[in-house]
Amino acid sequence: MTLTTNLNLFDQFLVPKLLGMSLLIPAMLLTTLLIYNPQDRWLSNPLTTLQAWLIAKTTKQIMIPVNKPGHKWSLMLISLLTMLILNNLLGLLPYTFTPTTQLSMNMALALPLWLATVLIGLRNKPASSLAHLLPEGTPTPLIPILILIETISLLIRPIALAVRLTANLTAGHLLMHLISTAALNLMTTSTLLAGLTLFILALLMLLEIAVAMIQAYVFTLLLSLYLQENV
């Protein structure tokens, strides 16, 4: 019974398949349909105006720590942020699948982008990029140890990006699943406790909406900070 319950609890994170083919990529691309495409007209639609204002403000906020040579990354970063936010929020709807709960997908996003920032730094200013591995004024006996520690901390960055996003979303989904199951079981025994549990579930839902947006923002912001170190 316990094994069956655990399997049912984690079934929501299984990648859906149709005719033996994974639906992970279609689930990701489906979010692009929610982005409003402006049309050629003299008077702008209020939705278009709001969308353009939000994109402009968010892009400005993300690119604040980045020097001007790195501003060419603004389109990529804002596109990444939009995709992550939409995927995270859609995953909170019933009977939906959240692609960003898959560690493999998050690693596929974090690893190439992090590697691109490192390669840019090695190409543009190799001496400065390598200097980050050894803080100035380090005692001679500690040089090999510090180089090893800094190298490990550099290589672990994409793993930290992917695990942070996966863990926060997975924990939230599991907690919502457990509380909703408890509320459903309490309806037959105590209406008061069931109502209190549903109220807690509603508050948790609001918290998860905030977490979904914050985690997407943190993922993109950290990439912009890595970019700043190398441009």
Q: Report the share of the chain in percent with pLDDT over 70.
A: 82
Residue range 185-214: mean pLDDT, rounded: 89
What pLDDT shows up at residue 10?
A: 62
Determine the pLDDT at residue 5.
Answer: 45
Query: pLDDT band for position 206 (50/70/90)?
Result: very high
pLDDT of 220 > 60? The answer is yes
Task: Check pLDDT > 90 for residue 58.
Answer: no
HSE of 90, CA atoms in CB hemisphere, 13 A: 19
The neighbouring-strand residues paired with 21 are 18
Confidence label for 41 from pLDDT (cuts 50, 70 and 90): low
Residue 157: per-residue pLDDT: 92
Checking if the pLDDT of 42 tops 60, the result is: no
pLDDT surpasses 80 at 99: yes
What pLDDT score was predicted for residue 2? Answer: 47
Report the mean per-residue pLDDT for the chain: 82
Express each pLDDT in 159-198 by its tens digit: 999 999 999 998 888 888 888 888 888 888 888 888 898 9
- Point out the least confidently predicted range of 70-74, 102-106, 140-144, 221-225: 140-144
**137 or 169: which carries more pLDDT confidence?**
169
Answer whether residue 119 shows pLDDT above 70.
Answer: yes
